[in-house]
Chain A
């Protein structure tokens, strides 16, 4: 299922997104390292959904708008994005930083959101489950920590760097710092309003996540008692990569029920 490149201006921000597939709209919100290429899980989901993969403001091929100062700005931006593209009943799947954005959107307005899949999301904190210091880890150690099965890390490390990929990585890193440096990877006000999320929620987490430890998953489940919690064994921070088949089946089962 081929993906095509698109661009839309939202609140003055030229926003790049990829789109492919047919079915109900599914918006995938990427994590800190962006979504520079179409990954197998996107292709697979596109057999069942109309999949949209935007580059967040400040990431990838999207603009870096001056107004982008915090995660709340991103939440309002994406509510505008859903409206601009007239998406209805969207399945919002967010990984890590993207999961945090999904929650910040949903506490504000779920009018265009059908359900949420939160894949090892940032956004809240839990005692005894300190996130890795993603800004201090050297690059190779960071990549290794993303995965439980190191063959995925080896594959990612084997991709040669280009001047363009370095520029993109620095851009993404800058925006991640802007949004998540302090308070680190969470919004202390978010938990006050999580009860406002009135659409079905599925939480997906790798049992061996070494970026955002699985203890946070249990805290999130406590805060969102109606949500389903799926903990995948032998899996790190990116279930959509490391457990691609299981992850896609889970999304289809949850979102198409």
Chain B
């Protein structure tokens, strides 16, 4: 949900649209139109037959206008009737009280009659700068907040919770979630061994969603998830694997590329971009991972053209036939049970977003659904 009206030159000049881009660049009147446009598009997803629509959480950035995915998911819970609503996800360590997340997700689950998919994330590195939360406690806080939320959803209250970061004398959730034992939990990630080990653990078996990565990286992490399940002594269900990727379907390969080019490049080279120090504050990742990123710095932090992105599989774009074939091929290699297509990215305007959604829903989705 980007601030698509952004003055891209201002974003480029600032070096990033995260943390430090002055908020005078946000115009509330344009914002009003954008929010309603995006919500209309998400609701249109139900009409087009998507299984689920997704919202996420990002703070103090033109990249995404959803500091609270709770607000957008709540609006969708009332306006839609059938489609699942995926919060991908709530940034647990950034919350001072995880019980608020447990309550809000439970409310949406009850209001929507059990249509919520709960995603939990740590928030990206930049958000530790904006929120001031100490990144060296990020993993600890995430795990403890998760434990508190799942216990609040599943154990009869009231009970006391004594953690290192959170202490609550009376955990006694009103409302309890609609789904039993609780809404499905998805873990969106850019990929880390720690996250995979944790999410795939037999006690959890959470759906692991690899987000916006080159396809080789997606393959590596989904395989690693499967291998980790095997190491735990069980076979990974395809439904435990997901891939989130920007997609653009045009009438032809040529028109698709021409229509998507400037909007995708704005997404990749303006909205996503941030310096290393902002992306990976100390403790957010292991120091080994940080060193690997430092080595790959030129590749990760330089500009990428649409053609390079297509080659890397960072983006899937073309006619319905081309896109279908691409996903069929990827599916045979990875057998992901969930595909999250980002039909709007960067500055992609409303008319192209709707056309993209329609072509995907009519020309691609039916064949992909038969794969499972």
Q: Are A136 and B277 in contact (CB under 8 A)?
A: yes
- Residues of chain A from 117 to 165 with CB closer than 8 A to chain B in the complex: 133, 135-138
Decide: A177 near B282, CB < 8 A? Known: A166-B291, A167-B287, A182-B132: yes
Distance in Å from the Cβ of B96 to the closest Cβ of chain A? 12
Could you tell me the distance in whole angstroms from the C-beta of A154 to the nearest C-beta in chain B? Answer: 22
**A-B contact sample (18 more), CB < 8 A, given A133-B129, A178-B283, A181-B134:** A135-B281, A136-B129, A136-B277, A136-B278, A138-B275, A166-B291, A166-B294, A170-B282, A170-B291, A177-B134, A177-B135, A177-B281, A178-B134, A178-B136, A181-B132, A181-B135, A183-B132, A184-B132
Q: A177 is contacted by which of B19, B283, B291, B294 (Cβ under 8 Å)?
A: B283
Shortest Cβ distance from residue B288 to the other chain A in the assembled complex, whole angstroms: 10
**A174 adjacent to chain B (CB < 8 Å):** yes
B290 within 8 A of A: yes
A171 to B136, Cβ gap below 8 A? no
Q: How far apart are the CA atoms of A177 and B19 in the complex, in Å? A: 18
When chains A and B are docked, how far (Å) is the Cα of A14 from the Cα of B128?
31
Could you write out 21 A-B pairs with CB less than 8 Å apart?
A135-B281, A138-B275, A167-B287, A170-B282, A170-B291, A173-B282, A174-B136, A174-B282, A174-B283, A177-B134, A177-B135, A177-B281, A178-B134, A178-B137, A178-B282, A181-B128, A181-B136, A182-B132, A182-B133, A182-B134, A184-B132
Chain B nearest CB, measured from A135 CB (Å): 6
CB distance from A158 to the nearest CB of B (A): 20
Task: Answer yes or no: A176 CB below 8 A from chain B CBs.
Answer: yes
Q: Which chain A residues border B132 with CB–CB below 8 Å?
A: 181-184
Q: Which residues does B use to contact A, with CB under 8 Å? A: 19, 128-129, 132-137, 275, 277-278, 281-283, 287, 290-291, 294
Assess whether B134 is in contact with A135, with CB atoms less than 8 Å apart: no
Contact of A174 among B129, B277, B278, B287 (CB under 8 A): B287
A187 shortest CB reach to chain B, Å: 14
Main secondary structure of the interface of B (DSSP, over half): helix
A179-190 vs B, CB cutoff 8 Å, 1 = contact: the mask equals 001111000000
Q: How far is the CA of A174 from the CA of B133 in the complex (A)?
A: 14
Q: How many Å from the CB of B126 to the closest CB on chain A?
A: 10
Q: How far apart are B60's CB and chain A's nearest CB, in angstroms?
A: 14
Contact B136 A177 (CB under 8 A): yes
Interface residue from B133, B137, B282, B291 paired with A135 (Cβ < 8 Å):
B282
Task: Return the 6 tightest CB-CB contacts between A and B, nearest first.
Answer: A177-B282, A178-B136, A181-B134, A174-B282, A182-B132, A170-B287
Inter-chain CA distance A138–B274, complex, in Å, is 12
Bound-complex Cα distance A170 to B276 (A): 13
User: Are A138 and B287 also in contact (CB < 8 A) when A181-B135, A182-B133, A182-B134 are?
Assistant: no
Which residues from B are CB-within-8-Å of A167?
287
Q: Which residues of A contact B19 (CB under 8 A)?
A: 136
B129 with A135: CB separation less than 8 A:
yes
A181 to B135 Cα, complex, angstroms: 8
A237 to B104, CA, bound (A): 47
| Nearest opposing residue in chain B for A183, CB measure | B132
Nearest-CB distance from A144 to chain B (Å)? 15
B294: A residues at CB distance < 8 A: 166
- CB of A137 within 8 A of CB of B277, answer yes
Chain B residues in 8 Å Cβ range of A136: 19, 129, 275, 277-278
Asked if A176 and B282 sit within 8 Å, CB to CB, the answer is yes
Closest A residue to B19 by CB, please name it: A136
Q: Which residues of A contact B278 (CB under 8 A)?
A: 136
Among B275, B277, B283, B294, max chain A CB count under 10 A is at B277
List the A residue with the shortest CB-CB distance to B126: A136
**CB of B291 to closest CB in A, whole Å:** 7
Instruction: Give A194 to B283 CA distance when docked, in angstroms.
Output: 31
| Chain A residue at minimum C-beta to C-beta distance from B132 | A182
Residues of B within 8 A of A177 (CB): 134-136, 281-283
- Among residues of A, the one whose C-beta sits closest to the C-beta of B284 is A177
A166 vs B294: C-alpha distance when bound (angstroms): 11
Q: Which residues of chain B have C-beta atoms less than 8 A from A184's C-beta?
A: 132
> What A residues does B128 contact at CB under 8 A?
181
Who on chain B is nearest to A173 by CB? B282
Q: Which residue of A lies closest to B131 (CB)?
A: A182
Set of chain A residues within 8 Å of B290, measured between Cβ atoms: 170
